[in-house]
Amino acid sequence: MSLHTQYLESFLRSQFYMLRMDGPLPLPHRHYIAIMAAARHQCSYLINMHVDEFLKTGGIAEWLNGLEYVPQRLKNLNEINKLLAHRPWLITKEHIQKLVKTGENNWSLPELVHAVVLLAHYHALASFVFGSGINPERDPEISNGFRLISVNNFCVCDLANDNNIENASLTGSNFGIVDSLSELEALMERMKRLQEEREDEEASQEEMTTRFEKEKKESLFVVSGDEDDMIITSDVSRYIEDPGFGYEDFARRGEEHLPTFRAQDYTWENHGFSLVNRLYSDIGHLLDEKFRMVYNLTYNTMATHEDVDTTMLRRALFNYVHCMFGIRYDDYDYGEVNQLLERSLKVYIKTVTCYPERTTKRMYDSYWRQFKHSEKVHVNLLLMEARMQAELLYALRAITRHLT
């Protein structure tokens, strides 16, 4: 993240606030919730980090034996953790009511909002961790556990200088530099054409709706990485229930009953932000700053080109993530997603966002081969924040419905 210092400052401010500053939840609980969230994606890197923090902040060591050792109240978060991580569109006000009205184990609304923010933050952060190749693998040589080794020899976290990753991957690939250069030129050309078309004609609302539905259905056929069932080790499985529950395409074949979440009906800016701020002071401002920061972050470059307006590309990345979670912007032309995001990039986005534990170095290398490593980290930041915002929108909408 330090390749993008402005963003990193904003990220650290909000993470520090939710973990360490005054808030509804006791400190050890915050770290335990982070562990539960990271475990949904088998993200050992984050689990190990928060196991240490949990103990340092006075957490009860016995809880680390698994969910059957924690208070019922924490255990009750299981359902919302699972849905938020994999199918947030299924969250209803009934899930919220169950948590806030369960007698002695009930959650207050401020506590629940704090927990939801932590869960969404750590689900999304797991996407960034896997997307950047920073997850340890179990080392068979060490009887009890982990060391940080690269996943598929893929660890970009120590690449302080910005260009050796893609150079290494380019020379090793059969594509050669010529192809990836022409790929870059073609993308620039498409951006220019779309900009011109946008100025010439406005698509009708019906046409916009059709394009969203088409993109949503097409995302079904973007198959992410290795579909084999992952083997979940006990140090991860002890923190989750129903490990087989995962992402299912919002637009499943033959299922038409799931309503699209119209972004205009419940936006972060007009609804989510004020609800979070009301129930858990100041975190709304910090999250808002972070969302804006990543959405507007630009150096006006694309690979070797300077003075490029990349707004269109950033918006396509953000909105494609929301499209896979069933969120639609009335004023956005989803035809742009198809024009701007090539198939290998869509596979990468879907994997990092929906099944981060399946991400491989090959996927990372296979899209935008001329782009700088820092630009691909920027993509990972956009995907992480878009995912976090999507989860929060569904959870906060359910809390709003519970309140009304």
Residue with tokens 């701020």: 277
Contact call for residues 78 and 67 (beta carbons, < 8 A)? yes
User: For the chain, what's the residue count?
Assistant: 404
Q: Which helix (H) or strand (E) holds 28?
A: helix 27-39
Q: Which two tokens stand for residue 327?
A: 């969120």
Could you tell me which residues are beta bridge partners of residue 261?
Answer: 327
Q: Which two tokens stand for residue 390?
A: 């999507």
Q: Which two tokens stand for residue 169?
A: 């991957």
Distance CA 147, CA 142 (A): 8
Q: Which two tokens stand for residue 243?
A: 């490990």
Comparing CA positions, the residue from 47, 250, 8, 23 lying closest to residue 116 is 23
Q: Which two tokens stand for residue 1?
A: 């993240």
Distance CA 19, CA 34 (A): 9
Report angle CA 128, 131, 133 to the nearest 5 degrees.
Answer: 105
What residues are annotated to the active site?
43
Residue 368 CA from chain centroid, whole number: 20
Crossing angle, helix 5-20 and helix 283-296, to 10 degrees? Answer: 160
Q: Which two tokens stand for residue 44?
A: 């050992």
Comparing CA positions, the residue from 125, 123, 11 lying closest to residue 391 is 123
Q: Which two tokens stand for residue 17?
A: 């606030």
